[in-house]
């Protein structure tokens, strides 16, 4: 849970990161950057700063910002009533990202699993994404990702987005942001 004043500060930091990556946002988009802190109260280590460009019944596109060494926690997009789960393509635009998915685990991880949350990180097949590189994540596949020391910007192209149906490994997580007005 974040206070409105905190959200505003984080939005400003995220807007700076987007600008550094030459991603142009409108004033309204900047003022509405979604701050996902996942209900964990540890935004610097586990969090994500998103701009949803379009989300309709046929496709979705977002821009994701990660502050330095910030992690989006492990989750998957399960099927929903006769519909396959969300499928998504991550394209690194700026910075560096380590993406972990189901599959052969790497020996020594380049990312650092967030301390105190080790039990909720279970897939370790490593994919490094540098600017211009991309990877498509199949539906219903566990994944998590972390930025390198400078942070990262990722374009996400996907099927229709239903964040509220994301299934996180960490049962403490609440995906939908809760903001206290202050």
With tokens 């109260």, the residue in question is: 41
Cβ atoms of residues 55 and 69 within 8 Å = no
- Does 180 engage in binding with a second copy (CB under 8 A)? no
CA–CA separation, 15 and 32 (whole Å): 10
- The helix/strand/coil state of 134 is strand
Q: How far is the CB of 24 from a second copy (least distance, A)?
A: 4
Burial label, 27 (beta-carbon count in 10 A; 0-12, 13-18, 19+): exposed
Q: How far is the CB of 175 from a second copy (least distance, A)?
A: 21
- Does 76 engage in binding with a second copy (CB under 8 A)? no
For a second copy, the binding residue among 81, 115, 132, 181 (CB under 8 A) is 132
Q: Which two three-digit tokens encode residue 8?
A: 């505003």
In 3D space, the residue among 87, 81, 18, 91 whose CA is nearest the CA of residue 59 turns out to be 87
Residue range at the interface with a second copy (CB under 8 A); choices 4-12, 53-61, 66-74, 111-119: 53-61
Residue range at the interface with a second copy (CB under 8 A); choices 3-11, 119-127, 154-162, 174-182: 154-162
- Does 12 engage in binding with a second copy (CB under 8 A)? no
Instruction: Give the long-range contacts of residues 52-55, CB within 8 A, separation 24 or more.
Output: 52/161, 55/160, 55/161
For a second copy, the binding residue among 44, 59, 80, 172 (CB under 8 A) is 59
Task: Tell me whether residue 6 or residue 160 sits nearer to a second copy (CB atom).
Answer: 160
Q: Which positions lie near a second copy, rule CB under 8 A?
A: 21-26, 29, 53-54, 56, 58-61, 87, 89, 91, 93-94, 131-134, 136, 155, 157-159
């Amino acid at each position: 849970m974040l206070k409105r004043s905190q959200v505003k500060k984080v939005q400003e930091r995220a807007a700076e990161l987007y600008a550094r990556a030459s991603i142009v946002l409108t004033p309204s988009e900047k003022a509405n950057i979604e701050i996902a802190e996942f209900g964990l109260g540890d935004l610097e280590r586990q969090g994500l700063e998103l701009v949803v460009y379009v989300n309709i019944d046929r496709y979705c596109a977002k821009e994701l910002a990660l502050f330095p060494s910030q992690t989006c926690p492990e989750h998957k997009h399960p099927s929903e009533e006769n519909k396959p789960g969300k499928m998504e393509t991550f394209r690194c635009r700026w910075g560096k990202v380590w993406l972990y998915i189901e599959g052969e685990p790497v020996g020594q991880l380049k990312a650092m699993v967030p301390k105190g949350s080790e039990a909720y990180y279970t897939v370790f097949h490593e994919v490094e994404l540098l600017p211009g590189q991309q990877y498509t994540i199949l539906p219903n596949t566990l994944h998590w990702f972390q930025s390198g020391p400078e942070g990262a910007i990722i374009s996400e192209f996907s099927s229709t987005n239903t964040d509220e149906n994301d299934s996180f490994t960490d049962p403490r997580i609440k995906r939908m942001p809760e903001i206290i007005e202050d």
